[in-house]
Chain A
Amino acid sequence: MSQAMRQQAADTLVKVENLTKHFPITRGILIQRQVGAVQAVDDLSFQIARGETLGLVGESGCGKTTAGRTLLGLYPATGGKVTIDGRDVQSARGHELMAIRRRAQMIFQDPFASLNPRWTVNAIVSEPLRVHKLCQSSQERLQRVEELIELVGLNRRLINRFPHEFSGGQRQRIGIARALASDPLFIVCDEPISALDVSIQAQVVNLLEDLQDKFGLTYLFIAHDLSMVRHICTRVAVMYLGVMVELANRDDLYENAQHPYTRSLLSAVPVPDPKTARKRERIVLEGDVPSPINPPEGCRFHTRCPIAVDICSVEKPEWRNLGGEHWVACHLA
């Protein structure tokens, strides 16, 4: 290994190679046979560097959440390989798996469903501490919970309350405190702000940024709000119907998108400025996203693509590098 490659390997925290996740569709009650598969995620390859925020965007049903969950080993992958901090997620068992779980955490979209309503904040935030045996005594654990709660901007006196006593934004903070408890390196943030009001979204995003600066965290930020993604992410990946279509540095993607899907997605993002909004040209896509059970042959986007040519319906476009950090899967790019 050359010096440069070793350097790169050390800087990469998460490495994803050809990750695929298909959910089988079965028929029959006693004798179940597989009759098809929902091809939720197909052949994803990318890396996340230490300390960066990679945005994963796409419309509902494009497989971004499934990708995030499979990446952490919450779903067994159908194919491919994920390594987090040098450990293979799919083959890990026992202590190895515990070590990965401790270092890779998740923040969920719904701050109401992701906290146990019958547990106090103390019980919720201290669970990772108990599971991973990170504190010597209950005294130490309590102290750590109070620390975590203050770290996310809540009052330490609130730790004996239940989730229903908090607002959506406060609940999301509790979820963040829980994710931080086990001292993670990597956090998958699955639409962490989409259930929150605008004024609260900014609070949570700023908190996530502060925590990243403080602890050197690495984020995979899954979202459909492209404005917020541009604000918070270093690089952005775009998914469509289970496949990655484009990946580039933030400003490169927003200013120089190469994939027709990315372009239409960006042109549809509302801009809070009447003059710009009136001038903008929208690339409005026809129709709806096809079913991931029988995705279109060739390029999965060709059925809605405004510039598709013959080859697009026949041959699957290669995932290629356009130079620098810009990757795209399109015959015409």
Chain B
Amino acid sequence: MDDKVLLLTVRDLRTQFHTPEGTIYAVNGISYDLHEGETLAVVGESGCGKSVSMMSILGLIPIPPGEIAGGSALYRGQDLLKLSESELEHVRGKEIAMIFQDPMTSLNPVLTIGKQITEMVHKHMAMDQATATKRAVELLDWVGISDASRRLGNYPHQFSGGMRQRVMIAMQLACTPTILIADEPTTALDVTIQAQIVELVVRLRVETGMAMIWITHDLGVVAGLADRVIVMYAGLIVESASVDDLYENPRHPYTIALLGALPRADRRRDHRLKSIPGAPPNLLVKPHCCPFVPRCEYAIERCRIEIPPLDSVAPRHKIACWVDVDTGGPR
């Protein structure tokens, strides 16, 4: 990946929400790179900050109560966090597009999908109405919606969940973005429909050469899809590795525990599931040590005192942990 052009560089991103109950520390300083044509998966459980970190760089966090407390997100040399709303509008949709978990709430229920797609093309690409409509038909056709020209006049409720997600994808690809961020796009869908959408996205990525960030809680979906995986916990990156390394040789206790907690459909049952004791972290407390400590079976004294930095343990394999899981001692 090193020879590929660097598209996005996020450094020390911090996002907080000020609520009546106190400050929620959602993202606590994360850094990563995204290269051209790469598929990066961001994996974590609910509340780990995976969605918030992506919405932060696109300026989709409501401020207040949200606050981008620090960091930078360089996209082709410009810091997205410093752009004005109108400048951001040129980036969003055109350069960096995003699809969400629930396509019903991200589509406007009272506009036909033709209207919604042409609006997108119209806004960013200055096409006239006839060309825009033609483009919309092409796009729907491309994402596998049959009889596209007739379906332009349909409303979102006339599509099934899987079809709606296809419409969303068509809309977001209208301006051939360089980065597509997919936030749990298949979580609300059944497995057979999920397989259809994954297949579609993989095909589109190959055809367009765009880079992709796929946010999910499902380590299964990611395995066949990503080049590189980032695992997040309590607003921090705990492990970052190539997809093969991560599954074959996980080095962070949380990643190891997550993989151990997953049953396999392709193997006979050979053991009881390893559960991770305890509960998800309380985000109302600013982390002052490794946030996984209360649930970690490898924890040593240092883990309770200092936040471990994200360090390399092998080429392109980083973890944020004080412990060497092989020896059980400090690294």
| Cβ-defined contact, A274 with B244, below 8 A | yes
Could you tell me which residues of chain A, from 221 to 235, have a CB within 8 Å of some CB in chain B?
224, 226-228, 230-232
**Which of chain A's residues have a CB closer than 8 A to the CB of B277?**
203
Given contacts A199-B45, A226-B191, A272 and B220 within 8 Å (CB-CB): yes
| Cβ-defined contact, A271 with B190, below 8 A | no
> Of the 9-residue stretches A128-136, A183-191, A261-269, which lies at the interface with chain B?
A261-269
**Which of chain A's residues have a CB closer than 8 A to the CB of B295?**
199
A251 interface hit (Cβ, 8 Å): yes
Could you tell me which residues of chain B, from 117 to 146, have a CB within 8 Å of some CB in chain A?
none
Residue of A nearest to B264 (CB): A227
**Which of chain B's residues have a CB closer than 8 A to the CB of A205?**
273, 275
**Which of chain A's residues have a CB closer than 8 A to the CB of B191?**
59, 224, 226, 265, 268-270
Residue of B nearest to A280 (CB): B224
| Cβ-defined contact, B269 with A59, below 8 A | no
| Cβ-defined contact, B217 with A266, below 8 A | no
Q: Mark B246-281, 1 if CB is under 8 A from A, else 0.
A: 010000000001110111111011001111110110
| Cβ-defined contact, A274 with B247, below 8 A | yes
| Cβ-defined contact, B45 with A266, below 8 A | no
| Cβ-defined contact, A59 with B192, below 8 A | yes
How many residues in B have their beta carbons less than 8 Å from beta carbons of A? Answer: 44
A199 and B262 CA atoms in complex are apart in Å by 9
Could you tell me which residues of chain A, from 198 to 220, have a CB within 8 Å of some CB in chain B?
198-203, 205-206, 209
A167 and B281 CA atoms in complex are apart in Å by 11
**Which of chain A's residues have a CB closer than 8 A to the CB of B265?**
226-227, 230, 254, 266, 269, 271
How many residues in A have their beta carbons less than 8 Å from beta carbons of B? Answer: 45
Given contacts A227-B220, A273-B223, A278-B224, A288 and B264 within 8 Å (CB-CB): no
| Cβ-defined contact, B247 with A272, below 8 A | yes
| Cβ-defined contact, A284 with B195, below 8 A | yes
| Cβ-defined contact, A273 with B163, below 8 A | no
Residue of A nearest to B144 (CB): A286
B221 interface hit (Cβ, 8 Å): yes
A33 interface hit (Cβ, 8 Å): no
Given contacts A59-B191, A224-B191, A209 and B160 within 8 Å (CB-CB): no
Residue of A nearest to B245 (CB): A274
Could you tell me which residues of chain B, from 206 to 265, have a CB within 8 Å of some CB in chain A?
217-221, 223-225, 243-244, 247, 257-259, 261-265
**Which of chain A's residues have a CB closer than 8 A to the CB of B162?**
288
A256 interface hit (Cβ, 8 Å): no
- Among A169, A209, A231, the one with the most B-chain Cβ atoms within 10 Å of its Cβ is A231
The distance from the CB of A116 to the nearest CB of chain B, in whole angstroms, is 22
| Cβ-defined contact, A206 with B273, below 8 A | yes
A81 and B284 CA atoms in complex are apart in Å by 53
A93 interface hit (Cβ, 8 Å): no
Q: Mark A158-180, 1 if CB is under 8 A from B, else 0.
A: 00000000010110000000000
Say which residue of A170, A250, A268, A280 sits within 8 Å of B192 (CB atoms).
A268
A220 and B244 CA atoms in complex are apart in Å by 37
- Among B192, B223, B257, the one with the most A-chain Cβ atoms within 10 Å of its Cβ is B192
A288 and B194 CA atoms in complex are apart in Å by 12
| Cβ-defined contact, B258 with A270, below 8 A | no
A273 and B190 CA atoms in complex are apart in Å by 20
B85 interface hit (Cβ, 8 Å): no
B63 interface hit (Cβ, 8 Å): no
| Cβ-defined contact, B217 with A264, below 8 A | no
A170 and B258 CA atoms in complex are apart in Å by 19
**Which of chain B's residues have a CB closer than 8 A to the CB of A250?**
269
Residue of B nearest to A251 (CB): B268
A269 and B191 CA atoms in complex are apart in Å by 6
B312 interface hit (Cβ, 8 Å): no
Residue of A nearest to B257 (CB): A199
Residue of A nearest to B243 (CB): A274
A251 and B268 CA atoms in complex are apart in Å by 7
The distance from the CB of A303 to the nearest CB of chain B, in whole angstroms, is 14
B297 interface hit (Cβ, 8 Å): no
A180 and B276 CA atoms in complex are apart in Å by 24
**Which of chain B's residues have a CB closer than 8 A to the CB of A254?**
265-266
| Cβ-defined contact, B261 with A170, below 8 A | no
Residue of A nearest to B46 (CB): A197
| Cβ-defined contact, A199 with B275, below 8 A | yes
| Cβ-defined contact, A203 with B190, below 8 A | no
Could you tell me which residues of chain B, from 163 to 218, have a CB within 8 Å of some CB in chain A?
163, 190-196, 199, 217-218
Say which residue of A200, A268, A276 sits within 8 Å of B194 (CB atoms).
A268
| Cβ-defined contact, B262 with A198, below 8 A | yes
A198 and B256 CA atoms in complex are apart in Å by 13
| Cβ-defined contact, B275 with A203, below 8 A | yes
| Cβ-defined contact, B194 with A272, below 8 A | no
**Which of chain A's residues have a CB closer than 8 A to the CB of B223?**
270-274, 276-277
Residue of B nearest to A210 (CB): B272
| Cβ-defined contact, A231 with B273, below 8 A | yes
A27 interface hit (Cβ, 8 Å): no
A95 interface hit (Cβ, 8 Å): no
| Cβ-defined contact, B192 with A271, below 8 A | no
**Which of chain B's residues have a CB closer than 8 A to the CB of A167?**
279-280
Q: Could you give 26 example pairs across A and B, Cβ below 8 Å?
A: A59-B192, A197-B46, A197-B280, A198-B261, A199-B295, A200-B276, A201-B261, A224-B190, A226-B191, A227-B262, A231-B263, A265-B191, A265-B192, A268-B195, A270-B218, A270-B221, A270-B224, A271-B220, A272-B262, A273-B223, A273-B247, A276-B223, A282-B195, A284-B195, A284-B199, A285-B192
Known A-B contacts: A254-B265, A276-B223. Give 13 more (CB < 8 A): A197-B45, A198-B219, A199-B276, A203-B275, A227-B220, A265-B192, A268-B191, A269-B266, A272-B220, A274-B247, A277-B224, A278-B224, A282-B195
